[in-house]
Structure 1
Amino acid sequence: MSYRTLSRAVFILIFSLALAATAQAQEVTITAPTEAGINQAIEITVSGPPAKGDILRFADESGKLLKGAYVYVGNLKNNKGKLAAPLAPGNYLVAYVSGGKIVASSPLTVTAVTASLTLPESAKINETIEVAFEGPVNSGDYVQMITDAGKPIRGLYAYVGNAKNGVVKLRLPAEGGEYGVGYFTGKMMIGSSPISVQGVTATVTAPESVGANETFELSFDGPLNNGDYLQFVDASGKPMSGLYRYAGQAKDNVTKMTAPVEPGSYRIAYFTAKKDIGSTAITVTGTNATLAMAETVPAGAHFPVEWQGPNNSGDLVRVLRPDGSNAGSYAYLGHNPETVTLRAPEELGAYRVAYLSGGQILGEVSFTVTDVSAKLDAPAEVEGNQRFNVTWQGPGNHGDLLQLVDPAKPGNIAYRYVDREKGNVIAVHAPNLPGDYELRYRTHGGKVLTAVPVTITPAKQEPGSLQVIAAKKPRLGPEDAIEVVLDASGSMLQRQDGDRRIDIAKRTLNALVSDTIPDGTPFALRVFGHKEADTCRTDLEIPLAPLSRAAATARVDGVTAMNLAKTPIADSLAQTSSDLRAVTGERIIVLITDGEETCEGNPADVIAEMRAGGDDVRVNIVGYAIDDAALQESFALWAELGGGEYFNASDEAALAAALTKAINPSFTVMDEAGTVIGEGIAGGGALSLAAGTYRVTAGAFAQQVTIDPAKLSTVTIE
């Protein structure tokens, strides 16, 4: 380092020290109260330029800094800050500390304070009482239960800052005895009042015996403290997980409980603060169920099962493999009195159908899945962009389809679901790209039963298109009905353009029932994901009835999405069969969801079973804010399987448009020979058709239309 450089560094250091000394020499002042109660927040005003790290804190009379409360001067707003006075009465200094030294101070005398409490002389265990107080109400002050020796009891306290008109509510201990309530400031008790806590009992009245997993009614008489509950207790006195009901949710002290699945002797106990204060004995008896069905079932076919059993809430029949694992198809019995419909697996072999109640098998029957085959008759060559008829023979199960594929590439080129009710001739639309293709009969489970080659030749002329639209407001027949199934699971709490998805869905649904669906139309609303977290619960919020717009919008407004709630699409759709049991006409079901099934259900199976039941049902699916292309494709396949359409809605405007289209009438297009060429919903996408004459039908409506090459024709359903 050169002499010139060294001299410059020394000069800078000396100059900096001089500036610092000048700043400290400037006068610092403190303005503060001269007297305060213990723990009272006092306001302090300072003047002078703060140095980095300067603080305000308390010191004793000798100038010794005290541990505890302090504030950085640099964090003051308008040079003002607050400190809580020491907890011991005496004389102190409010000190301005810079560089570890007191550079300014103000004297402060801290005085003792007291508090008074007014409360009942006695009360019952776990009861919530009102406590009136008079005290300093410093920040963080609280009242707390104390033992007769003055020791605070953990968890039983209330902050006085939350009081209303000088009164707080305080819960009492769960054990009887002599106690007190103390007023605390800065963890120092400055007042107390005694209270005698007395024991309490409860009575429970229930049947002497019930069946395993049976839901039954019971009554009780108890203190009804906040959080009180009734719970099954086993023979050893251990409370049984999950088998409880909160007393506060009962109506007129009457509630329902579900018995354990294992037979035996139990008690139903009333608990307050987790303390058993009364019980009654109850015996749980075993129960059986019987099932009857065919000994053999074709692969993938739907088959009926007759049943007799307790029909407890949640009871179901399910197809099982020989090792007891689930084989897919199941049905809840509450929706299917006396007979249920199941689908056979597509893997050949031995299976069994079991009656399950609370996870326990009450009865079962064995059956064997037998092989199936199919045959296709289609032209060897087809002109591109033309529809060609295919005659099929096969099992014809719901979900089976004819699939045109390029053997060298994955994915569908075109497909049509088979439907025995519509005959065994299906029109398939040929692609525009010439080449060698394969036409396959594929089962619901994805098994190819047969395939034939089809060569597509260059198209001679462009196809035309048909757009079918509806009148401004849909007109359903008096025997028809609409049911909306709304997803209110946790994913609907995500935001879009500042609003939560559930709020956007509720607005559009309210607009639908207020402005689009005619008043008096048979209507039902089912919602899932809004009542319990981490469950697959689904609830009928509006039972089937003529639409009352005011009542419907009020019920929709009350729906709130719940975080961590699951998405039981399959079970919600399955329960619509029971919801709409009284409907003799068309059943239009509109599912609004933003996610996939998360409850291990199979929506495709459920939809196929709904259609297989013979009812006139149409399932439309509205996917909201779904970016997953594979999920969109699954929804589209489910909707077509349900005789409806899939609508993808990316935002609120698209959601409103999709819901309006989803309740429009469905239509069928037939050629001059009477073969069904296409189906859809009025207002949906245009159909591509070869030039020719067709007939469009929708209920009692029918109209002939001519399709010209490269032109759009329109039909309006009145």
Structure 2
Amino acid sequence: MTPRTRWSLLLVLLLAAVLLILLLARCSVRRSTPAPKPPTPAAAAPAKTPEPAPGPAATAAEEPERLGLATVEAPARVLAGAKFEVRWTGPDNANDYISLVPPASRPDQYTTYAPTRTGNPVTLTAPVDPAALEIRYVTARSKTVLARQAVEVFAATATLDAASEAVAGSRLAVTWTGPANHGDFITVVPKEVPDGQYGNFEPISKGSPLQVLTPMTVGDAEVRYMTGQQQKVLARRAVKIVASEVSLSAPEETLAGSVVSIAWTGPKNAGDYITIVTASTPDGRYGNYTPVTKGSPLQVTAPMEAGPGEIRYMAGQGQKVLARRPLRIVAAEVTLSAPDEVVAGTRVPIVWTGPKNAGDYITIVAAGTPDGRYANYTAVTKGSPLDVLAPIDAGDTEIRYMAGQGGKVLQRRPLRVVAAKITLEAPGEAVAGGDLTVQWSGPNNQGDYLTVVAKDAKEGAYLGYTYTSAGSPLRVKVQAPPGPAELRYIAGQGAKTLARRPLTVKAAK
């Protein structure tokens, strides 16, 4: 190859390289710049539109948008707030939609819409205000209006009929006529409540007449027919809310924690109840109570706190106090009489006096046990005297009279619990599987028993056993394995070992 030929070839290769670099740079620019997407209806829609936007428009990589013929067909007049159907024909591109708009709106604007993919016909909801509007078939990508039809939205009317006066918190019968659009309801509110706000209500889907709960506020009020869409008032009717007459009759004084009989009159509205609280309790709060559905008279339990109290008739709606009556609550006199000393685990006879309120009981606990806690106990409904099982652990204890309400200690008395004296006499050896004869003395409390176990057996463990109620002497089946063992006296209360005697278990021959 001549030098000239080599230079020519080098020049060709250089030109080819330059062209390749330019081509790659152009491709890189195309790859780094995404194709612009046309805005969705959400971007163009008025800010006040509560509807979600139709789905994203197709990208340039997808098949071209079809702009063929289209039609929309719907009633010429529709009721404000009502749902209505629109039949359509058209290309049905991805995310095309049928919209409802003012005639002067831009093609990319909408107030409500339905995607064509949801089927044919689609359902639209008319606005609650009368207007001359336009139904459109709009393509999602180019926002081209392929078809349109005028539609008149005419005003909905409603009527209300109800009593001119109602007791606060009662149910008011309301007969109504109206469009019965989705979400419409009837409410009763004080007259000064601004339109668009509501109080107690009932959906019109329950039919006519409706029973609507009136407010607890006494004075001028209004029954209103409200649209579910935008809470527009279609009709209103004046009603006067009057206070109910409520009376309470009960004793002037009662024992703390006792049951008080209360005669009453009142509205007996849903949820109303009568409660007894301390006089300082803020309105709206309650203590023990009974619903007025129990009739008159009814029974309410007084608080445990002695002092000025109050009987209150409370409205179920808003916890408003409709009537109150003072009640003096006095502490009950309680006495306890019992031995000064008892053997651990035995039953202690206790003579008592006290209010004998529902749930009251007498318990014996270790000294220092926090008030409100309890151990072995007997309900005072068992009468006086009654028996309470002493603790199995020796030491200083207390007999306590406890209120069933709140676990309050109404009276206490000290009691010394001493350990039981127990003796065990038996042979020093026993045969596995045989019987061991035992002479014993001890408390013989309910559930106490004798057992033979391996010397290292855990506390509370047992094998063959015999209750001490069988007397002395008694026989115990030896089920412990051969080796060092123990004869144990076990308390029925807590499975505590009260006495033990070593022995050896030998294998049977």
Instruction: Please give the secondary structure, in 2, of the residue aligned with 1:161.
Output: helix
State the distance in 2 between where 1:458 and 1:26 align: 106
Superposed counterparts of 1:536-575, under 5 Å: none
Match of 1:347 in 2: 393
Structure 2 letter corresponding to 1:309: G
Q: Does 1:374 align with 2:417?
A: no
Listed one character per residue, the Cα deviations across residues 643-662 of structure 1 (whole Å, up to 9, x for unaligned) are xxxxxxxxxxxxxxxxxxxx
Separation of aligned partners in 2, 1:361 and 1:18: 84
Match of 1:158 in 2: 202
Structure 2 Cα separation of the partners of residues 229 and 213 of structure 1 = 19
Partner of 2:332: 287
The structure that has the greater radius of gyration is: 2
Distance 1:259 1:456, change over 3 A: same
Alignment partner for residue 216 of structure 2, among 174, 187, 190? 174
Q: How does 1:485-504 map to 2 (within 5 A)?
A: none
1:191-245 CA deviation, whole Å, 9 max, x = no partner?
1111111122211111121111111212111111112222225434635632222
2: CA distance between counterparts of 1:424 and 1:72?
96
- What is aligned with 2:448? 400
Unaligned runs of 5+ in 2: 1-19, 36-57
Structure 1's 408 and 364: CA in aligned 2 closer, same or farther, altered over 3 A? closer
2:199 counterpart SS class = strand
User: Contact 1:387/1:430 (CA < 8 Å) preserved in 2?
Assistant: no
| Match status 1:59 vs 2:104 | no
- Equivalent residue in structure 2 for 1:333, among 374, 380, 385: 380
Paired AA for residue 420 in structure 2? V
Q: Deviations over 1:310-340 (max 9, x none)?
A: 1111222222443352351222212x11122
Out of 111, 124, 130, which is 1:83 matched to? Answer: 124
- Using the alignment, how far apart are the partners of 1:342 and 1:291 within structure 2? 13
Q: Which amino acid aligns with 1:169?
A: Q
Q: Percent of pairs identical after alignment?
A: 23
Q: Which stretches in structure 1 are left out of the alignment for 5+ residues?
A: 461-718
Please list the CA deviations of residues 263-284 of structure 1 after superposition, one character each: whole Å capped at 9, or x if unmatched.
Answer: 2233312223433333333222
Quote the residue 2:239 is aligned against: 195
- 2:364 matches 1:314: no
Q: Please give the secondary structure, in 1, of the residue aligned with 2:188.
A: strand
How far, CA to CA, are the matches of 1:84 and 1:104 in structure 2?
21
Which amino acid is the alignment partner of residue 257 of structure 2? N
- The question of whether the paired residues in 2 share the 8 Å contact of 1:40 and 1:138 is answered with yes
The structural deviation recorded for 1:21 is 3.7
- Counterpart secondary structure, 2:132: strand
1:312 partner SS: coil
Question: What letter is aligned with 1:311?
Answer: K
Query: In the TM superposition, what is the alpha-carbon distance from 1:115 to its structure 2 partner?
Result: 0.8
Which amino acid in structure 2 is aligned with residue 117 of structure 1? L
Aligned-partner residue type, residue 445 of structure 2:
N
Structure with bigger helix share is 1
Q: Does 1:364 align with 2:407?
A: no
Aligned counterparts, 1:632-671, within 5 A:
none
- Find 2:250's aligned residue among 192, 196, 206: 206
Q: Is the 8 A contact 2:72 2:148 kept in 1?
A: yes
Task: Choose the corresponding residue for 2:467, options 404, 413, 418.
Answer: 418
Which of the residues 489, 495, 503 maps onto 1:441? Answer: 489
User: What is the rounded CA distance, in whole Å, between the counterparts of 1:297 and 1:198 in structure 2?
Assistant: 67
Q: Residue 62 of structure 2: SS of its match in structure 1?
A: helix
Q: Residues 459, 21 of structure 1: CA spacing in aligned structure 2 closer, same or farther, 3 A cutoff?
A: same
Q: Distance in 2 between matches of 1:236 and 1:228?
A: 21
Which residue of 2 is the match for residue 450 of structure 1? Answer: 499
> Greater CA deviation, 215-224 or 380-389?
380-389
Asked if the contact 1:57/1:97 (under 8 Å) is kept, the reply is no
Provide the alpha-carbon RMSD of the alignment. Answer: 3.6
Give the counterpart of 2:226 among 170, 184, 204. 184
Classify the secondary structure of the residue corresponding to 1:420. helix
**TM-score calculated relative to the size of structure 2:** 0.76
CA distance in 1, matches of 2:395, 2:333: 27
Paired residue secondary structure (1:126): coil
Question: Structure 2: how far apart are the matches of 1:123 and 1:259?
Answer: 33
SS at match of 1:440: strand
Alpha-carbon spacing, 1:268–1:18, altered in 2? closer, same or farther (3 Å): closer
Rounded Cα–Cα distance in structure 1 between residues aligned with 2:279 and 2:253: 15
* Contact 2:93 2:139 (8 Å CA) reproduced: no
Give the Cα separation in 1 of the matches to 2:170 and 2:348: 57
1:241 counterpart letter in structure 2:
Y
Aligned position for 1:220: 264
Instruction: Tell me which amino acid in the other structure corresponds to 2:218.
Output: G
- SS of the aligned residue for 2:500 comes to strand
Inter-partner Cα distance in structure 2 for 1:396 and 1:380: 23
Please show how residues 685-696 of structure 1 align to structure 2 within 5 Å: none
CA deviation after TM superposition for structure 1 residue 170, in Å: 0.7
Cα distance in structure 1, aligned partners of 2:68 and 2:385: 95
Are residues 293 and 98 of structure 1, via their aligned partners in 2, closer, same or farther at CA, if it must alter by over 3 Å?
A: same
The one-letter code matched in structure 1 to 2:255 is: G
Does the 8 A contact of 1:327 with 1:345 survive in 2? no
Tell me the residue number matched to 2:79.
Answer: 37
Alpha carbons of structure 1 residues 437 and 125: separation in structure 2 relative to 1, 3 Å: same
Query: Which residue matches 2:168?
Result: 125
Matched, 1:296 2:321: no
1:116 aligned partner: 159
Query: Hey, what's the Cα distance between the residues in 2 that align with 1:459 and 1:415?
Result: 16
Deviation at 1:46, TM superposition (A): 5.5
Residue number in structure 1 paired with 2:40: none
Distance in 2, matches of 1:46 and 1:352, equals 89
User: Per the alignment, in what secondary structure is the counterpart of residue 368 of structure 1?
Assistant: strand
Structure 1: distance between partners of 2:139 and 2:477: 89
Measure the CA separation in 2 of the matches of 1:259 and 1:155.
35
Question: Aligned equivalents of 2:212 and 2:469: distance in 1?
Answer: 70
Q: Deviations over 1:333-355 (max 9, x none)?
A: 12x11122222223332222121
Contact 2:277 2:287 (8 Å CA) reproduced:
no
Cα contact 2:431–2:478 (8 A) shared by 1:
no
The 1:68–1:300 alpha-carbon spacing in structure 2 relative to 1, beyond 3 Å, is farther
Change (3 A) 1:447 1:40: same
